Structure 1
Amino acid sequence: MDAQVHELKLLVTKAVRMLERIELLDNNGHVSVRIPGADRFLINSRKASRASLTVHDIVMCDMEGRLVEGDSEPPSEFHIHTEIYRRRADVGSVIHNHPHYQTVLGIADIPLKPVFGVGAFVRDVPMFEDSSLINTRELGEQVAEKLGKASSVLLRHHGTVVASENVQSAFTISVFLEENAKKQYDAALLGPNMRVLEGDNLERTRSSNWQPSIIQKLWTYHQEKAEKQGALNGIEDDKEDDHR
C-alpha cells in the first residue's frame, strides 16, 4: 500500500506541475486521486505552490475531507472531489482547472461544441451558475449533481471540473477540452459560419481520438516536455530538508 500511495502521490504531483506549466492551473486549482480499496483520496495541499509542488505536499483525506495523512489542510474546495467520488464509482480522479478559453466561452454564454479532432468527445457540457468558491458540502453536492454522468462541468466565471477513471485520463480530458475551446474561440472570430463536427463524422472522430494509447501518448508528451524544461525538477524533494 505504501508503494502504491507513493506512486499515486507522484502522479498527482506531476499532473499539477504539468497543468500549471500549460496554464490550466494557476496559483489555485487541484488534482485528486481515489486510493483503490479505501475511502480515502490524495490531493495537493491548500498552502503548497502549484509551480513547485512535491510529493510531500500531497495530503490524504477521508471522504469527509478530514486530514488522514500530511502536515497541511486540503484545498477549501475539497467538497468538489468528495461529492463526485460519493456519486460516481467509475471516477478515480477529479481535476479542478482554471482554463482561459473555456471560461471565456462560458462568460460569453457560448456552449462548447466539438470543432476539433481531439475535442470530439465534447457533448452537452453542463453549466454550473454559482461562480463562488465551492467550499461547502451543499455547493459540492450541487456541482456533482450538475456533472451527472458527464466528464466535465463548466463553472461559469470560475473554471472547470473534470472527472475520469484515472489521473492520466482526467489530465487528457483537461488538455483536449481547452484545445477544442481555443479552436472554437478563434473560429468564432472569423465569422458566423462555424462548422462543427456532427453525425457519423463526429462519431468516427470521437471513437478514433479517445483511446488508451492516445491518453498515454499525451501524458508522455507533456511529461517529457516538462522534464526537458525543468518543470518537474525536485518533485520528490523534501522542502523542509532543503532548509536545514
Structure 2
Amino acid sequence: MNDQLLELVDELSRVGADAVQRGLALASGGNLSVRVPGADEFAITGAGTFLDRLTVDTYAVVDLEGRTTDPSSSVRPSSEWKLHQRTYRARPDVNCIIHLHPQYAVLLDALGHRVRFFTLDHAFYVKSIGRTDFYPNGSDELADTAALEAGNHNCIIMGHHGSSAIGPDIEMAYRRAVNMEQAAEATYRALLLGDTESEFPPEQWEKLHHD
C-alpha cells in the first residue's frame, strides 16, 4: 500500500472498532473498504477479520477487475469483495463502502416495514434507502443488485443480511451508516408506540435537498 492508502486504512480501522462498540456489527459481521480518490484499486478487510481488531495487516488490496494486487499476501479479501468492487465500478464518486449487519434495519425490512426518517440528520445524511432481496453472501446476484441500487441511493438494506452505506470519504460513509441505523431504531420504537405515519416533514425534505 502507498502512504495515502495506509493512512486511509488506519482511519477505517478506527471506524470498524466504533461500529462494533455501537452494536452495528458483531465480531466479523461485515466488511469495510476504502480507496484513494481516482484509484483503480481498494483496500478491503480480510476474510473472517473482527471489525474491532483491524490493523494494516488484516486488509487485502483488490483492483476494479477483481484481482488481488499482492499475490504474495496471506490475507484473503472478504467474501463480499464483489459487492465492493461492483459498487465502486457503478459509482466512480464513491471512495468508501461500509457494509455492516445492523439489527434494527434488517429486522424492519424482514417484517416489511419501511425505515422512516425523523430527524434532520436522518433526512440530510441518509436521504433515501434502497434495498435488495436476500441473496447468498459473496454471490454475483448480491453484488450486482446492490451496485444497481447504489446508482440511486447511498444507503442500501440487503434482505435478511445487512446494509451498505457509501460515500466520497470514510467520514460521510460512516455518518450515513450510523444515521440509517438510528432511523431504523427510531422507526422500531415508533411502531411499538403504535405510530405508523410520523416522519420528517416531506415539504422540508424536498427543501433540504433542492435548495
Task: Tell me the TM-score normalised to structure 2 length.
Answer: 0.89
CA distance in 1, matches of 2:53, 2:173: 21
CA distance in 2, matches of 1:139, 1:186: 29
Mean CA deviation greater in 179-188 or 189-198: 189-198
Match status 1:110 vs 2:125 = no
Letter matched to residue 153 of structure 2: A
Match status 1:132 vs 2:133 = no
Gaps spanning 5+ residues in structure 1: where? Answer: 209-244
Indicate the SS of the match to 1:68: coil
Two-structure CA RMSD over aligned residues (Å): 2.1
Letter matched to residue 10 of structure 1: D
Query: Which residue number corresponds to residue 150 of structure 1?
Result: 153
Matches within 5 A, 1:141-220: 141-192=144-195, 194-203=197-206
Query: Which residue number corresponds to residue 64 of structure 1?
Result: 65
Letter matched to residue 9 of structure 2: K
Deviation by residue 1:67-125 (Cα, 9 ceiling, x = unmatched): 22343110111111000111111111111110011011101111112122321134542
Gap change, CA 1:22 and 1:207, over 3 Å in 2: farther
Q: Answer whether contact 2:34 2:44 (CA < 8 A) is retained.
A: yes
Gaps spanning 5+ residues in structure 2: where? Answer: none
CA distance in 2, matches of 1:78, 1:103: 21
Letter matched to residue 57 of structure 1: T
Which entry has the higher C-alpha Rg, 1 or 2? 1
CA distance in 1, matches of 2:157, 2:145: 13
CA distance in 2, matches of 1:131, 1:137: 9
Match status 1:3 vs 2:3 = yes
Deviation by residue 1:154-184 (Cα, 9 ceiling, x = unmatched): 1111111111111111011000111111111
Indicate the SS of the match to 1:67: coil
Gap change, CA 1:125 and 1:193, over 3 Å in 2: closer
Q: Answer whether contact 2:154 2:166 (CA < 8 A) is retained.
A: yes
Could you say which structure has the greater relative contact order, defined with CA pairs below 8 angstroms and 6 or more residues apart?
Answer: 1
CA distance in 1, matches of 2:210, 2:119: 13
Indicate the SS of the match to 1:180: helix
Number of residue pairs the alignment of both structures matches: 207
CA distance in 2, matches of 1:198, 1:18: 31
CA distance in 2, matches of 1:117, 1:183: 13
Match status 1:19 vs 2:19 = yes
Q: Answer whether contact 1:30 1:43 (CA < 8 A) is retained.
A: yes
Query: Which residue number corresponds to residue 38 of structure 1?
Result: 39
Gap change, CA 1:105 and 1:152, over 3 Å in 2: same
Deviation of 1:206 (Å): 6.6
Letter matched to residue 43 of structure 1: I
Aligned identity (percent) is 28
CA distance in 2, matches of 1:21, 1:173: 17
Deviation of 1:189 (Å): 0.9
Q: Answer whether contact 1:128 1:153 (CA < 8 A) is retained.
A: yes
Q: Answer whether contact 1:119 1:177 (CA < 8 A) is retained.
A: yes
Q: Answer whether contact 1:15 1:31 (CA < 8 A) is retained.
A: no
